[in-house]
Chains A and B, each alone.
Chain A
Amino acid sequence: MSGGFVSRGFGGKRRAPDDLRDRLPPGQYLEGGFPVLTAGPTPTVETADWSFRIDGMVANPTEWNWQQFNALPAEEIPCDIHCVTKWSKLDTSFRGVSLDTLLEAVEPLDAFAMAHSYGGYTTNHSLEDLSDGRAWIVTEHEGEPLPREHGGPARLLVPHLYFWKSAKWIAGLRVSDHDEPGFWEANGYHRRGDPWQEQRYWTD
């Protein structure tokens, strides 16, 4: 709410249907498509060159190549996604490996992780946000291989946070004892980015 201010003559013509309204975080609107937002050129990563690595403060630093990664137990992840630029996409789905599985293999010794990507993108997370069935490394979107513009061959998926937290072209996680800002977090966006608390920018 906005302290009583009303925009003269504004009715609102893109309201979500009643049955979906509870699924839209504050300030978001429904989007049918899957818009692309990237800070630079789209990287090309061949699966032959791809690997995913978890290192830093862990007991067993581990790296999976594409073949090893695809041998891990994968699951279908139905979810809603929310972009900080205001669009939300409901009832979409991805397929991938739970980070619980991956973190179990490396045994983290600390509570934070920096996700880093091919192309240089980074975003910070607490391991709490990456655990308990709330985060995945995904390689498929709605039954198809994840398209390059959406982070293929593999991206991080953390659907309970704004979508910039779901790093595209994921290369690894570096576990650490402190929370450092990643790329957008150093450029004015919120450290955590919970859409239900509308944590868009630093001051939110």
Chain B
Amino acid sequence: MSALTAVEQRAPGGWQIATVEAIRVETPRVKSYRLRPPLWMPHLPGQHYEVRLTAPDGYTAQRSYSVASSPLEEGVVELTVDRLDDGEVSTYFHDVLVEGDQVEVRGPFASYFVWRGESPTLLVGGGSGVVPLMSMLRHRRLTALELPMRLLYSARSAEDVIYADELGADAVVTLTRSAPPDWNGPTGRIDAELVARVAYDSGPAFVCGTDPFVEAATALLLAAGYSPERVRTERFGPTG
């Protein structure tokens, strides 16, 4: 376990009321929200924020969302939210929240699933599991482009690819359900061949997605020679 940096030791505890500065539609069910909290502090790529909604009668709902932005974007926290039909926080974000609204947040939290400049680094994401990985990818592009980092990203279809216009030569996207006629990338679930294309002989792998996705991807990484110590996972439960 790594020692904690001075930044992490600064208390990120308190709830604060952030302003929704901008909303971007990423896919038909995913939007990104640029929030500006009054007491911003830099996060480590991979950390998350807590969001709390309060009804007029005092009822509250809390959920965690990974930060998608680089900490070099000072003052801003970008959260990317997948709309879950039976959720109450993600549906509020998608169906109610507009630019200029206020939302209660606190963070950043947790210092395990975070990128601290290790290299080479492999990122493996399924669906909205790409969100914390995008923070790592964006941060590395802004700070240390020479550090090897690759993203292997599994999405259902071309229209479900989040951050599509930012994915370049450092990303391999595979489409699992349908691909457009002009698609020349891989299709189908992540398999040993795809993992072999992106795996490194050293350095960590960050794997994020649903539990079945993480189980399948970590099994492939272990089979490709990654030791368990090199594989950090974050599994999405059924939240919303």
Contacts and interface: CB of A to CB of B under 8 A. Distances in A.
A201 interface: yes
Contact of A183 (B1, B12, B103): B1
A23 to B, nearest CB: 16
Contact of B238 (A31, A39, A41, A183): A31
B8 A188 contact: yes
A52 interface: no
Contacts of A5: 17, 54, 102, 104
Q: How large is the interface on B (under 10, 10 to 19, 20 to 34, 35 or more residues)?
A: 35 or more
B222 A41 contact: yes
Interface in A20-59: 26-27, 29, 31, 33, 35-43
A2 B104 contact: yes
Interface in B76-119: 86-88, 91-92, 96, 101-104, 109-113
A94 B22 CA distance: 47
A102 B177 CA distance: 51
Nearest to A181: B1
A184 interface: yes
Given A8-B102, A38-B235, A85-B237, A15 B13 contact: no
Interface stretch (B30-38, B55-63, B133-141): B55-63
Contact of B111 (A11, A33, A42, A188): A188
A110 B67 CA distance: 41
Contacts of B189: none
A61 interface: no
Contacts of A41: 218-219, 221-222, 228, 231, 233
Given A42-B215, A187-B112, A202-B13, A10 B64 contact: no
A186 interface: yes
A73 interface: no
A87 B239 contact: yes
A83 interface: yes
Nearest to A182: B1
A17 interface: no
A87 B88 contact: no
B238 A33 contact: yes
Interface string B212-240: 00010011011000001101110101111
A148 to B, nearest CB: 10
Given A6-B54, A35-B211, A188-B110, A12 B13 contact: no
B172 interface: no
A171 to B, nearest CB: 15
A10 B218 contact: no
Interface string B44-66: 00000000111110111111100
B11 interface: yes
Contacts of A189: 110
A10 B228 contact: no
A12 B228 contact: no
Interface string A158-196: 000000000000000000000000011011110000000
Nearest to B86: A14
B15 interface: yes
Given A85-B239, A149-B211, 19 more contacts: A3-B15, A6-B56, A10-B53, A10-B61, A10-B92, A12-B53, A12-B60, A14-B88, A27-B60, A27-B62, A35-B235, A37-B235, A86-B239, A87-B239, A149-B215, A184-B112, A187-B111, A188-B111, A203-B12
28 contacts: A1-B60, A2-B15, A2-B104, A3-B15, A5-B102, A6-B54, A6-B56, A7-B54, A9-B92, A10-B96, A12-B53, A12-B61, A12-B88, A14-B61, A15-B59, A27-B62, A35-B238, A36-B237, A37-B237, A41-B219, A41-B221, A85-B237, A86-B62, A86-B63, A87-B237, A187-B112, A188-B112, A203-B13
Interface of A: 1-3, 5-15, 26-27, 29, 31, 33, 35-43, 83, 85-87, 119-120, 149, 183-184, 186-189, 201-204
